[in-house]
Structure 1
């Protein structure tokens, strides 16, 4: 299945990308944006936070929840939606721009970096309210870096934000309903 994207959305996406390239492009951001986007590669910054929390006994459960959030967001975004929509990345359609990072090989919609970042940032914001702005700022910077680097369309990023927030809600439902404990108990009984 391939989703046919309406021309109004394509025009909006291209307009935003051209505007970013025209008004924001600079040698400083050309150095900074690849570093910011690398924080989202395979959820690196979020995995680092999860490991830190797993080592800190009072917060080890939050580290586990971050890992669960990354798994769910990856399954939904990378495993399902990208393969249903199969949108080609802007760097493939507009290859005149020299990429500052290695060209991604997966589909474009939704932005996986954005999806996982907003999912985990929302989860962390619930447990560490005092750092909510920091977590959301990191997620937003990662999302913006994907546009600056010309590897996602704006609607990919918008969808990544929305689906990421939905994924965090799915995680909270799983926790609230006690599904983790039920699964662990079932697993122990089988073993």
Structure 2
């Protein structure tokens, strides 16, 4: 693994550990604003797995030579989503909305890790490979989606950091595997 990746993942894990101690402090310090409530409520819907997957698939379909990465994109999203749901069931951490009176979004599953953050960050390693100019726009979008989940009282800081790390790591893993072994490129239905 490259040194920059080791540093990135180490920093992410340290940040995740620290964030567990800051969760309630960040939650309590949130200032409410009706305009932000509406804006971030809208943003959070664009960060759902389904919307992110449609946007990313459309982007890769747009340029024929980049279509070979669509299976990697889909497998990355599927794997990170399944891992998120498994971790949510195992950890079974209650959502912050259970502790705070303000409910902006109705949620049905546990809190850790954030599936929205995972979905948004899953796209980054694949975008970095094929659309490097769009990567930083997407990083900003992913950070705003992650923040919206905290602001709307459906996740703690550690939930979104954990989801972001999970999504990024899963996609990074599948990009590495595909670059090294060309699994999807060898399958006839995925070739041009």
TM-score, length basis structure 1 = 0.80
Q: Which of 67, 71, 84 in structure 1 is aligned with 2:74?
A: 67
Query: Once superposed, what is the RMSD of the aligned Cα atoms?
Result: 2.3
Q: 1:141 Cα shift?
A: 0.8
Name the structure 1 match of 2:4: none
Q: 1:68 Cα shift?
A: 1.9
Aligned partners of 1:9 and 1:182: how far apart in 2? 40
Q: 1:114 Cα shift?
A: 0.3
Name the structure 1 match of 2:104: 100
Name the structure 1 match of 2:176: 173
Q: Which of 48, 60, 73 in structure 2 is aligned with 1:53?
A: 60
> Are the structure 2 counterparts of residues 39 and 9 from structure 1 closer, same or farther at C-alpha, using a change threshold of 3 Å?
closer
Aligned partners of 1:84 and 1:50: how far apart in 2? 31
Name the structure 1 match of 2:129: 126
Match status 1:19 vs 2:29 = yes
Contact 1:118 1:161 in 2 (8 A): yes
Contact 1:50 1:63 in 2 (8 A): yes
Q: 1:150 Cα shift?
A: 0.3
Name the structure 2 match of 1:152: 155
**Structure 2, unaligned runs of 5 or more:** 1-17
Aligned partners of 2:166 and 2:152: how far apart in 1? 21
Deviations 1:106-157 (A, max 9, x none): 1100001001211112321222111111010111111000001100011101
Aligned partners of 2:170 and 2:73: how far apart in 1? 11
Aligned partners of 1:61 and 1:17: how far apart in 2? 42
TM-score, length basis structure 2 = 0.79
Contact 2:48 2:119 in 1 (8 A): no
Contact 1:91 1:150 in 2 (8 A): yes
Aligned partners of 1:182 and 1:61: how far apart in 2? 7
**Structure 1, unaligned runs of 5 or more:** 1-7
The structure showing larger relative contact order (alpha-carbon pairs under 8 Å, at least 6 residues apart) is 2
Q: 1:182 Cα shift?
A: 8.7
